[in-house]
Chains A and B, each alone.
Chain A
Amino acid sequence: MPENNDIVQLRPRMVQEHEAVLLITYGGHNGELPDLVPRDSTLEALRAFATEAVRAGGVRNIPATPDADFTDFVADRFEPTPETPWARYILRPKTPFGSR
């Protein structure tokens, strides 16, 4: 079975109800925080988790970036579904524009 499917199979047993997987996009790379985050994490906390991990090179697939800055990133929060029965948070760049 492919490695990715192994991960999918394991997730329901690994992620508790009060936890979430944090997916990060930075520097042209996508990665998953190796540690689960509290499901009630604030946006500021999610930014801090990501900053610390990416600066230290602690996110698989994202090279260590000592000046990583998530100040203007936002989190999309996806609740568990029958297909993906664990909470997933995606930290991504904000995208609003505004003249006023």
Chain B
Amino acid sequence: MIETGVVLDKNGEVLFWHEPPGRTSGSIPDDPDLWTRIWEARDIIGGHAHTHPWAGPAYPSEEDLTTYLAIERGLGRKLQWYVVTMTEAARIVIDVVYPAQGLRTPFIGWTALPIDPPAWVNELRNKSTSKEPT
């Protein structure tokens, strides 16, 4: 099992798969090329999905949430974010709640809304079952 991502256009269709080297069953590493490609597609990009490749609830990690926020700040607009497990798929709605004065890191509230899996979900799961990055 290996985490895999996909970047979607505004219609929810696949723009490109995100399969950088260094992925593991628990992480997708920072990838300058991903930001470059997102920036180049900034007028048509709609969102990003990635797998947590196990059976069970789909919800974001702290790393996911801070990456979501950073990319939205870079682009200057919101995107649709999805987390997909082998059994569930959810759209993640984030709500940033800043902490009391004096604390630097914002508390990030989120809600995972189950979705009917679009066509790309099965391919994303299939790519996540590979033992080696494709």
Which positions in A face B, CB cutoff 8 Å? 25-29, 68-74, 76, 92-100
Task: State A95–B31 Cα separation when bound (angstroms).
Answer: 6
B30 in complex: contacting residue of A68, A71, A94, CB < 8 Å: A94
- Which of A74, A98, A99 counts the most B-chain CB atoms under 10 A from its CB? A99
The verdict on A99 contacting B66 (CB below 8 Å), with A92-B35, A94-B30 known, is no
B70 within 8 A of A: yes
Question: Closest residue of chain B to A25, judged by CB?
Answer: B74
Asked whether, in the complex, the Cβ of B50 is within 8 Å of the Cβ of A97, the reply is yes
Given A71-B105, A72-B67, A92-B35, A98 contacting B76 (CB threshold 8 A): no
List CB contacts (< 8 Å) of B88-106 with chain A: 104-105
Cβ-defined contact, B74 with A93, below 8 A? yes
Interface residues on chain B, number (Cβ under 8 Å): 33
CB of B110 within 8 A of chain A? no
> Contact at B74–A96, with CB atoms within 8 Å?
no
Contact assessment for B31 and A72 in the assembled complex, using a CB-CB cutoff below 8 Å: no
Tell me which of A28, A93, A99 contacts B35 (CB under 8 A): A93
Q: Report whether B67 and A97 are in contact in the complex, using a CB–CB cutoff of 8 Å.
A: yes
Q: Which residues of B contact A26 (CB under 8 A)?
A: 73-74, 76
1/0 contact string of B25-65 vs chain A (CB within 8 Å): 01111111011001100100000001011100000010110
Chain A residues, Cβ within 8 Å of B64: 97-98
Quick check: is B3 within 8 A (CB to CB) of the other chain? yes
> Are the C-beta atoms of B67 and A96 separated by less than 8 Å?
yes
Q: Which residues of B contact A73 (CB under 8 A)?
A: 70, 73-74
Q: Which residues of A contact B39 (CB under 8 A)?
A: 25
Complex interface: chain A residues within 8 A of B32 (CB): 76, 92, 95
Residues of B with C-beta under 8 A to A28: 42, 74-77
User: Could you say which residues of chain A place their CB within 8 Å of the CB of B76?
Assistant: 26-29
- Is B69 at the interface (CB under 8 A from chain A)? yes
CA A29 to CA B75, docked complex, whole Å: 8
